[in-house]
């Protein structure tokens, strides 16, 4: 295959993914005004439902704008030699492979983020503000952006440097060592993300003594779940939307509750949500997802090792001097259809796991408070009660609310 063929494959994939995504979004939008299923008819009153409709349509239209901009931006970069231009800038600074690659990706990632910042700003300070969700200040918005760049530069730069060094040292066998590096990093982050990264953005405090903590500890003992780390995070710093999540495993496992969740739900409802999260752990979903992620990364790296030395990957994006970093850009786009397929499988399994975690909460606690908590959380986030099945199949990692409630009532 020559570089022209690879170029047209890249263009075809980018346009094809855009058209598929746009079509699915269109199908989903056509279902916005469908009759609300009986099981979730009590989530909104008439005024709230009208507000949720407006929120969905606003995000739908804004999504068309942002996805079109992204497509036009990358096509312009490809058609008018943008990648070659960035590569030349990096090459003028240094010809050493690792520093050159860091400069190349640094310019692309930070430049892309800067171009998308007005859209992020509008999403946060106009759309989310209009519908009563936003609590982010301009200072927090800028701080989050700068901290995100810092993490990418330090962590991403270190990992990229190691990958290129492996390639220089081991040739096409670099994928094995890269896989081991990524596996160790993934496990490390799963264990310590809440300790190392979250505090950079949010304040976490142990759940205070009281009836809620006593109920949680009592339930954890009942189901044989050792839980010493229960934290409350100040999610209200950025949004009124509520959440809870489980992280880590072994002695490092912890449950984190958003302060908005504690404010929005009754204690039994919070406990039901917690029971669901513990269900994920008891059913070994955490370990399965972690293992699967590592295996899929290994598959991607193995395929990368087959094609990385092909100069046509670099030439296809207009870079005249074949290099690891230019080939990585091409490969990332060419591999995206495979990522879509594996993503479909992971979403299917994720939805299955959600049912299993719901059933665990139902059988070890109660379905009634879990149903009411799911309805409240959906209402408070103005979620879509009538998603299109095709959109759910492609994008949903959780089953639609009505399906979860029907399962809990069965």
Q: Which residues are catalytic?
A: 277
The answer to whether 36 and 53 are in contact (CB under 8 A) is no
Q: Kindly write down the DSSP assignment for every residue of 67-88, as one continuous string.
A: HHHHHHHHHHHHHTTHHHHHHH
What is the C-alpha separation between 155 and 196, in angstroms, rounded?
Answer: 12
All residues at 6 or more sequence positions from 292 whose CB lies less than 8 Å from its CB, including other chains: 346, 349
Phi–psi pair at 96, nearest 5 degrees: -65, 130
Count of CB atoms within 10 A of residue 1's CB? 11
Largest alpha-carbon pair distance within the chain? 68
Helix (H, G, I), strand (E, B) or coil at 204: strand
All residues at 6 or more sequence positions from 143 whose CB lies less than 8 Å from its CB, including other chains: none
The answer to whether 103 and 160 are in contact (CB under 8 A) is no
Measure the N-to-C terminal CA separation of the chain; round to a whole number of Å: 55
Q: Angle at Cα 136 formed by Cα 29 and Cα 208, nearest 5°? A: 110
**Of the candidates 245, 256, 248, the residue with the CA atom closest to the CA atom of residue 191:** 248
Instruction: Give the position of tokens 């949903």.
Output: 396
What is the C-alpha separation between 376 and 12, in angstroms, rounded?
Answer: 43
What is the C-alpha separation between 296 and 277, in angstroms, rounded?
Answer: 24
**Of the candidates 294, 225, 234, the residue with the CA atom closest to the CA atom of residue 254:** 225
Return the structure tokens found at 19: 């058209």
Q: Kindly write down the DSSP assignment for every residue of 319-343, as one continuous string.
A: -SS--HHHHHHHHHHHHHHHHHHHH
């Amino acid at each position: 295959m020559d570089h022209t063929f690879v170029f047209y494959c890249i263009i075809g994939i980018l346009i094809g993914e855009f058209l598929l995504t746009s079509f699915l979004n269109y199908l989903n939008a056509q279902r916005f005004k469908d009759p609300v299923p009986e099981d979730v008819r009590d989530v909104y009153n008439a005024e709230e439902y009208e507000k949720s409709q407006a929120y969905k349509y606003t995000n739908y239209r804004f999504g068309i704008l942002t996805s079109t901009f992204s497509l036009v931006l990358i096509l312009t970069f490809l058609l008018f030699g943008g990648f070659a231009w960035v590569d030349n800038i990096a090459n003028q600074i240094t010809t050493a492979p690792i520093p050159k690659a860091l400069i190349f990706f640094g310019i692309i990632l930070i430049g892309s983020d800067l171009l998308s910042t007005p859209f992020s700003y509008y999403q946060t300070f106009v759309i989310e503000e209009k519908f009563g969700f936003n609590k982010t200040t301009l200072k927090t918005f800028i701080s989050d952006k700068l901290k995100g760049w810092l993490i990418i530069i330090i962590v991403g730069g270190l990992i990229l440097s190691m990958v290129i060094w492996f390639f220089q040292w081991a040739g096409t066998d670099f994928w094995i060592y890269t896989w081991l590096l990524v596996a160790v990093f993934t496990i490390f982050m799963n264990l310590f993300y809440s300790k190392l990264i979250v505090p950079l953005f949010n304040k976490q405090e142990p759940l205070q003594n009281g009836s809620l903590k006593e109920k949680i500890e009592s339930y954890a003992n009942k189901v044989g779940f050792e839980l010493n780390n229960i934290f409350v995070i100040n999610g209200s710093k950025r949004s009124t939307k509520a959440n809870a999540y489980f992280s880590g495993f072994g002695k490092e496992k912890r449950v984190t509750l958003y302060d908005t969740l504690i404010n929005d739900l009754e204690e039994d409802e919070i406990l039901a949500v917690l029971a669901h999260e513990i269900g994920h752990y008891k059913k070994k979903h955490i370990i399965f997802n972690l293992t699967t992620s590592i295996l899929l990364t290994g598959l991607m790296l193995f395929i990368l090792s087959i094609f990385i030395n092909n100069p046509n990957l670099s030439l296809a994006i207009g870079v005249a001097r074949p290099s690891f970093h230019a080939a990585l850009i091409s490969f990332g786009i060419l591999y995206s259809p495979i990522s879509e397929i594996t993503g479909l499988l992971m979403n299917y399994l994720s939805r299955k796991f959600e049912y299993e975690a719901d059933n665990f909460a139902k059988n070890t606690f109660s379905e009634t408070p879990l149903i009411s908590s799911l309805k409240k959380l959906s209402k408070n986030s103005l979620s879509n009660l009538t998603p299109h099945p095709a959109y759910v199949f492609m994008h949903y990692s959780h089953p639609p609310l009505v399906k979860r409630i029907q399962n809990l009532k069965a």
